[in-house]
Chains A and B, each alone.
Chain A
Amino acid sequence: MATIALQPRYKLVSPTRQRVLGIIYLALAFLLWFAFIRPLTADAVTTFGMTPGGLGVRELAPWQLPTRTTILLMAAVTAVVGGVQLVRGFGRWSTLVLGLVVGVFVFGFLIWSAAGRSLNLAGLLRATLSAAVPITLGALSGVLCERAGVVNIAIEGMMLAAAMMACLVGSITHNLWIGLLGGILTGALMAAVLAVLSIKYMTNQIISGTVINIFATGMTSFVSSKFLQTNQALNDPGVFRTFPIPGLVDIPLVGPIFFHNNMFVYGMFVLLFVLQFALFSTRWGLRLRSVGEHPKAADTLGINVFRTRYMAVILGGLVAGFAGSYFTLGSVGRFDEVMTAGRGFIGLAAMIFGNWTPFGSFGAGLLFGFANSLAAGIAILGSSIPSEFLLMAPYVATILVLAGVVGRGQMPAADGTPYEKE
């Protein structure tokens, strides 16, 4: 509580933070110059391919950028922004500027690592979006639960269980949609356990989450090695087809990336907008959030705290189930043991990074997804920077955000506290 009181909402940027950010920007500018420009020859050229993949999609001509000049320009811009930040700051535009600077730096890094070679930028962005789907959906599940005051570290477990069940049901019924339903309901079932433990039995919510995670890992691996691996017919549900949206898919670059996907990607966008609107512009959302901020006050006003929390957690489970089904039905078309590989925890990180909002979660999901696909891209390019460090970036970024180094999130005040009616 004390930490929240020290950081009032109206005070956007503290002087310390302004200076710290300024110094970070200047350091980034220096790094661009020192590490990226100096080793380059003057005539190096970076080529960005514009082939997003997929059939019958219009392609753009590749971009050609003079590597040295471009990065020099970026370093100069970053340095100027850093100077301004240090002297007078950007006030309420600070976060936006921070995002821009990070974006410029990442782009500079891309240009540098692909110097003299060709990198498929459109393909990278497309991979980013597909990597962002499960992360964002997981984060949305977390947003729903935590806005109502129930900590959900079991996103990983719910997704894993849902992935397995979607695969199993889909394989048995030979129907992807029934498989999807199975996955979503499994997520909800897991969430119901979390809800009963956390709300009814007032178990520590982190322990309830750990129960779900351990159980899901054990259960899915058990079923996998007992049935799925021995009987391949049970592990072959097929995949949701790509469904190009007519008209929109013809937009150059944007079209093939956003409108040439399968149902899960569109579903994520729909959920994203629906949840953002529902949580922040409807009475339902206000009630849900009030339960997470101050359950006692909400109770006094006649809101049923327990029912609201049950509903929020189970809705979160449905979303996590949808996210889990993506792994089997939307991506590879089979179940492998522990295939979610920590994506649920990145989702948790994205939720925190996105300040417990759907849109923020999506932004963070994109950022983390980008780090993911960039790591793969860099491994192919054979860059001198190990791709593992890029894969670490989401976790480091989350720790920095939590510590308030680059801004601080506003978590729901009653998040993690069981409610006891007097």
Chain B
Amino acid sequence: MTEETKPKLDAGKVLTQELVGEGKGAPRGGGRQVAQAVIVPLLAVVTALLIGALIIILTTESVYAAFRASIGSGLVESLRVVGEAYGALFAGAFGDPAKIAAAISSGDAQAIRRAVNPFFESLVAATPYIYGGLAVALGFRGGLFNIGVEGQLFVGALCATFVGYALTGLPTIVHLPLTILAGALGGAIWGFVPGYLKAKTGAHEVINTIMMNYIAFRLSDWLLSGPMKRAESFNPVSPWIQDSAKLPRFFDSPIRFHAGFFLALIVAGLVWWFLFRTRWGFDLRTVGANPHAARYAGMSIVLWTVMAMGISGALAGMAGSNEVIGVNYNMAMSFSSGYGFDSIALALLGNSHPVGVVLSALLFGALRNGATRMQVVAGIPIDIISILQALILMFIAAPAIIRSIYRLRAAGKGEQVVSLRSWGE
């Protein structure tokens, strides 16, 4: 198609109005819009927690026993069971207030550290979620569904691990950035492939990223049990990384809180700046929102499709490297507890906006961390978190369900951020 130069301007103007109305203007567009943007996610989380409570009640035997005695005692027992479980969830996520107070009054540094550890552990758990959520969100903004965060995370971790243990004798100031960069690069390559194929051949990125996930898993299987295996170990696990490749920690054991959290916040800020304050970000969002208009305005769809997937992959890779250089200091196949798939839920919960993503990541980190304690104290398997996340994702993706439950009015136009194209396009 050959276009004349004149209509391009008009297309650009129309486009600008369309996009400003949706992306950039939304946070500024008055209180009502903000409330609209916040209320559905909030209700989604609350509803999911309520359903979670129901599941806990239905799967606890003591409740049935109490109901057999009398309905009143059954209700009391139900409340007690839910209270115990969610109380443990809260204490596991933020620390037990009574314990913290006791520790502070005792003045024992070790006791204080142990009491406030749950809170910092939640931040540690939230860090990979921030990266993963940003990865998915950036993909969405570019009109792409990056379901391959998990695979990109694995490849990023592999690269970071390799650079982390194989390079020796470097000062931290050189080694640490190199390691982070290696992780980002690994993820970027894993994202680049589906992005390139999408842009050049039209092959759908969802299928390709799923396939790339499994290629990454098998690759990790092979590397960790073969070339990258720790010599003295029987299990498929990589060697320990050098001290110079580790992110600094702020407190003594047992608090594992490390600089990666602040790095993730900085990256989130950079992503926000890139998406909403640079021309490139504008191009990326335009290609995502309306590729036809973008092409009409002279933007390169191929370039920005590849870039969106590449940057998204790099962010996912950083999630992987963060786990290696901040938390585990080595890599085993079990190092990711499904961060990649959870990230889809939290990117949508955060409305594909960096601020929303960070908040959702903090929530998901707290949930996942708190659930560990809930499992120990109340005997509720940690997998209930996945159920909650699936429910949250469902309510966010189908806001009509939430609206009909709470009798909310339908929101106006511009609510749907994810305007993905169909399989064939």
Contacts and interface: CB of A to CB of B under 8 A. Distances in A.
A165 interface: no
B385 A218 contact: yes
A218 B389 contact: yes
B381 interface: yes
Contacts of B362: none
B401 interface: yes
Interface in A190-241: 197, 201, 203-204, 206-208, 210-215, 217-219, 221-223, 225-227
Interface in B372-417: 379-381, 383-391, 393-394, 397-398, 400-401
B218 A352 contact: no
A346 B221 CA distance: 18
A215 B387 contact: yes
Contacts of B389: 214, 218
Contact of A404 (B203, B226, B379, B420): B203
A349 B211 contact: yes
Interface in A368-422: 386, 388-389, 391-392, 395-396, 398-399, 402-404, 411-417
A349 B207 CA distance: 8
Contact of B381 (A225, A342, A345, A414): A225
Contact of B384 (A222, A342, A411, A413): A222
A1 B222 contact: no
Nearest to B338: A217
B394 A219 contact: no
A208 to B, nearest CB: 7
Range for the number of chain B residues in contact with chain A: 35 or more
Nearest to B344: A210
B398 A197 contact: yes
A395 B387 contact: no
Contacts of A352: 207
B418 interface: yes
B228 interface: no
B424 A210 contact: no
B81 interface: no
B143 to A, nearest CB: 12
Contact of A403 (B201, B210, B342, B381): B201
A213 B222 CA distance: 26
A213 B391 CA distance: 11
A391 B222 CA distance: 11
A278 B342 CA distance: 38
B219 A403 contact: no
Specify the main secondary structure of chain B where it touches its partner. helix
Contacts, number: 161
A227 B206 CA distance: 35
Interface in B187-210: 193, 197, 200-204, 206-208, 210
A316 to B, nearest CB: 16
Contact of B383 (A206, A225, A413): A225
A388 B220 CA distance: 9
A222 B222 contact: no
A210 B393 contact: yes
Given A349-B211, A411-B423, A219 B400 contact: no
Nearest to B222: A388
A348 interface: yes
B381 A3 contact: no
Given A404-B201, A404-B203, A398 B211 contact: yes
B214 A395 contact: yes
Contacts of B124: none
Range for the number of chain A residues in contact with chain B: 35 or more
Contacts of A389: 218, 222
Given A201-B400, A225-B383, A342 B422 contact: no
A227 to B, nearest CB: 8
A211 B48 CA distance: 13
A395 B341 CA distance: 19
A386 B229 CA distance: 14
Contacts of A226: 59, 379-381
A222 B210 contact: no
A219 B222 CA distance: 30
A151 interface: yes
A402 B207 contact: yes
B214 A217 contact: no
A165 to B, nearest CB: 15
B212 interface: yes
Interface in B201-254: 201-204, 206-208, 210-215, 217-219, 221-222, 226
Contact of A413 (B210, B341, B424): B424
A347 to B, nearest CB: 11
Contact of B206 (A2, A206, A217): A206
Nearest to B389: A214
B425 interface: yes
A214 B211 contact: no
Interface in A318-347: 342, 345-346
A227 B60 CA distance: 10
B423 A416 contact: yes
A348 B210 contact: yes
Contacts of B130: none
B203 A402 contact: yes
Nearest to B60: A226
A153 interface: yes
Interface of B: 55, 59, 145, 147, 193, 197, 200-204, 206-208, 210-215, 217-219, 221-222, 226, 338, 341-342, 344-345, 348, 379-381, 383-391, 393-394, 397-398, 400-401, 418, 420, 422-425
- The list of the 7 closest CB pairs from A to B, nearest first, reads A218-B386, A3-B202, A215-B390, A388-B222, A416-B423, A221-B383, A402-B203
15 contacts: A214-B390, A218-B390, A219-B387, A221-B381, A222-B55, A226-B380, A345-B213, A346-B214, A391-B218, A395-B218, A396-B215, A402-B203, A414-B424, A415-B423, A416-B424
Given A201-B401, A345-B214, 20 more contacts: A206-B145, A207-B397, A210-B344, A211-B390, A212-B390, A215-B391, A217-B386, A218-B383, A218-B386, A222-B55, A222-B59, A226-B379, A227-B59, A395-B218, A398-B207, A398-B211, A399-B212, A402-B197, A402-B208, A411-B423
